[in-house]
Structure 1
């Protein structure tokens, strides 16, 4: 892979549970020697290892704590501490407030708290959080999902990627995605709710967000089980004039 490009590899995009061929939400974002695991949904640790070992990751970034975006942190914990992996230092883990205690709550089975911090160096996200991970710059914004949830903009020297996480359409996502090369946007909902709080994008919403942000390309992901990927792409394209793709498991997009 070219050191100058930003690469997005889809580990899985299923919701709300993995299928036989498709893990839940998870992506590997890389540029040069920098590698970030973005969301760790159920089943994504397996395909991640086709590309990188746990002890070769530069960071993990988690959008929110629903299981289809974070459950494989539990197996990653055991892999990092109790198997063939020998960490030189805990893996930097960026996630919503309370992520360390949530993991400990699942993993602790005795009066002694499981040593979460031995596996992960946890940083809690907040709206506007910025950090550098190797050659990449990450900016996180709070989005609208009914629980603490974040989108992220990842920038390399020659390209930019914005990942929505799970969210209803909201100004913070549109602002974060302004002028990005690729918007990786969820499109779970078949239809917007007639009433009540909306917590996901429809395909049309994804197209609207990409258009409003002036994104160069839209990649729809996390498509709900009442839609096919082709339907999601077709519907998003009615609202966005640029290229529209689906985040098929195993696909790699080169950005820049």
Structure 2
């Protein structure tokens, strides 16, 4: 399984990175390459096109309805609806129940069909807590996590390899369950101990991300969702103080090749 970091800036697009977006690739037993996009936040659709042709996407999963995780779906919809190719079909989009109406609201229209076309380009599927579904060879488990809006974290498994993604969350039991034994744990660390203590139930700190990784016994922890105003060395140091396993601070366009219980795989 391969993870491409399209954007990793926390809460809004930063000067050097788009907001959250991660491309997951995995080859099935027949040699077919599957491509699933996890989140498509503000500014991410542009750099995504430097990695793949968006027409090659098999599905998109949206963790929650904050703009830094879903807003560039509007650009992807334009791409999909008005593309010169006529064989694209409907692109499966998995997200909270309100996602289709939210996208339509941003675009200022009634319904889910763009102007001038006869059918909706997206096929929406609603996420729920504890939901399990498959996209090609990827087995996906969804858990509700602790955030001010309906939000989900994910556990993806294929061919014995497990990748866990926190989405946006504070510490919670569901996060620990998603991360348990994961070969790669992509975990947000948007807050700093002391500076952000007045906020609860919103984001993890580097320390809390490290504690979750230690409890879960993950192969590698990759910290993400760092806001532009934060020195990434601070959450990294917080995590290292409580977790002895390998830790990486992600950067845009990093690639993670995930293998079973590997402690050497990571961003190039």
**Same fold flag (TM > 0.5):** yes
Task: Output the CA distance in 1 between the equivalents of 2:163 and 2:127.
Answer: 18
Q: What is the Cα deviation at residue 49 of structure 1?
A: 1.8
- Cα RMSD between the aligned structures? 1.6
1:3 maps to what in 2?
none
2:14 maps to what in 1?
19
1:45 maps to what in 2?
45
Number of aligned pairs? Answer: 249
Task: Output the CA distance in 2 between the equivalents of 1:186 and 1:67.
Answer: 16
1:142 maps to what in 2?
144
1:211 maps to what in 2?
214
1:188 maps to what in 2?
190
Q: What is the Cα deviation at residue 41 of structure 1?
A: 0.5
Is 1:36 the counterpart of 2:39? The answer is no
Task: Output the CA distance in 2 between the equivalents of 1:190 and 1:38.
Answer: 25
Q: Is the 8 Å Cα contact of residues 203 and 235 (structure 1) preserved in structure 2? A: yes
Q: Which runs of 5+ in 1 are unaligned?
A: 1-5
Q: What is the Cα deviation at residue 196 of structure 1?
A: 5.7
1:95 maps to what in 2?
95
Q: What is the Cα deviation at residue 108 of structure 1?
A: 3.6
1:75 maps to what in 2?
75
Q: What per-residue deviation string (whole Å, max 9, x for no partner) do you get for residues 216-249 of structure 1?
A: 1100000133422222222211111100001100
Q: TM-score, normalised by structure 2?
A: 0.88
Q: Which runs of 5+ in 2 are unaligned?
A: 28-32, 260-268
Task: Output the CA distance in 2 between the equivalents of 1:173 and 1:20.
Answer: 30
Q: What per-residue deviation string (whole Å, max 9, x for no partner) do you get for residues 25-77 of structure 1?
A: 00001111111010000111122222322221111001001000000001111
Q: Is the 8 Å Cα contact of residues 100 and 112 (structure 2) preserved in structure 1? A: no
CA distance change for structure 1 residues 229 and 99 in 2, over 3 Å: closer, same or farther? same
Is 1:239 the counterpart of 2:242? The answer is yes
